[in-house]
Amino acid sequence: MTDREIWARVLAGEARAFGSVWDRHRDRVFRHLVGAGAASAEAEDLTAVVFLELWRRRDRVRFVDGSALPWLLVTAQNVQRNAVRARRRHRALLDRLPLPDAAPDPADLVAERDSSRTRLVREVMAATRPADRDLAMLTAVEGFTIREAAEAIGISESAAKMRLSRLRTRLDQAARAAALTEGGTP
């Protein structure tokens, strides 16, 4: 069957006939768009637009030797030109818009607010043995139990508890000393 014959069925209301035209020509339209410079993802979208146009203009489709392919390829070129023009206009619009005022990063605000506390924790942790730092990170940050963290590090659970207790004591002492030097209360 020619496309013209299938198209007569489309116009008569046969739903599957449009699918036949799609199956017959979608790959060729896609390759044409890719060959004309469209990226694969864009060519997929534009192929769908071409067939949408086929449906919208179903009563004005021109056939060449019984085939709708030439009409589809010309429509594909027009659709791609329209897409390029739309992108260019969009880019020009964005370039004309004023840049937004720079807003401070909320993470920086939090870091500034907590900088003395953060600095204090970092100093204490830097002076701590690597195994104890790992133990603290595994339990406090990663959420492992003391038993699981101790096993991962290769120490007993009671040793892990003792090390964490000593680390907490060092952090508390450092916090009290910092509060006293800054005029706060411990």
Write the pLDDT tens digit of every residue in 85-95: 999 999 999 99
129-148 pLDDT, tens digit each: 988 989 998 998 889 999 99
Task: Assess whether pLDDT exceeds 80 at residue 180.
Answer: no
User: What is the pLDDT at residue 162?
Assistant: 95
What span, in angstroms and rounded, lies between the C-alpha atoms of 32 and 75? Answer: 11
User: What is the pLDDT at residue 163?
Assistant: 94
C-alpha angle with apex 58: 68 to 42, nearest 5 degrees?
70
User: Are 54 and 72 in contact, with CB atoms under 8 Å apart?
Assistant: yes
Confidence class for position 103, pLDDT limits 50, 70, 90: confident
What span, in angstroms and rounded, lies between the C-alpha atoms of 72 and 74? Answer: 6
Domains of the chain are: 3-96 (1.10.1740.10), 106-181 (1.10.10.10)
Bridge partners of residue 183, in order along the sequence: none
Of 180 and 39, the one with more pLDDT: 39
pTM: 0.53
Of 131 and 108, the one with more pLDDT: 131
